[in-house]
Amino acid sequence: MKADDPEDKKNVVKIVESFVFRKHLILTFEMLSINLYDFIKLNNFLGVSEGLVRRFAIQILVTLHFLREKNIVHCDMKPENILLRKENKSGIKIIDFGSSTYENEQFYTYI
């Protein structure tokens, strides 16, 4: 996905490096801010403005369209897996592709 989004416009977390340490695959990613659940929690669950919801929704739809083009199903889309790019900004990134699969492959039984 990184190679298919060189301009970083598809709102998918970018992997920085990967290596094996003591027989474990280690993945490092770009630094991001808090997730949407914690963001709403900080606001005492009072919600956010319609304009902010619209900005988040547009970015999520851009990502979902990109994933659809790649035949990838995320399988764990939730507020905890949507992070703000920077504190006090409305840009977001989708994270946690650990349960994702290609559309034509078998899904986990709990999906």
Sign of torsion over alpha carbons 72, 9, 6, 38: negative
Residue 26 lies in a domain: no
Q: Give the total number of structural domains in the chain.
A: 1
Residue 15 lies in a domain: no
Look at strands 101-102 and 72-73 and give their pairing.
antiparallel
Residues 82, 57: contact at Cβ < 8 Å? no
Is 80 exceeded by the pLDDT of residue 104?
yes
Domain of residue 76, residue span: 32-102
Model confidence pLDDT, tens digit, residues 52-101: 999 999 999 999 999 999 999 999 999 999 999 999 999 999 999 998 99
Residue 16 lies in a domain: no
Q: What CATH number corresponds to the domain at position 67?
A: 1.10.510.10
Residues 66, 49: contact at Cβ < 8 Å? no
Residue 78 lies in a domain: yes
Which residues pair with residue 73 across a beta bridge? Answer: 101
State the catalytic residue, choosing from 4, 5, 38, 76.
76
Q: Indicate if 96 belongs to the active site.
A: no
Residue 22 lies in a domain: no
**Residue 38, pLDDT score:** 97
Residue 83 lies in a domain: yes
Residue 11 lies in a domain: no
Could you give the CA distance from residue 66 to residue 68 in angstroms, rounded to a whole number? 5
Radius of gyration of the chain (CA): 15
Residue 111 lies in a domain: no
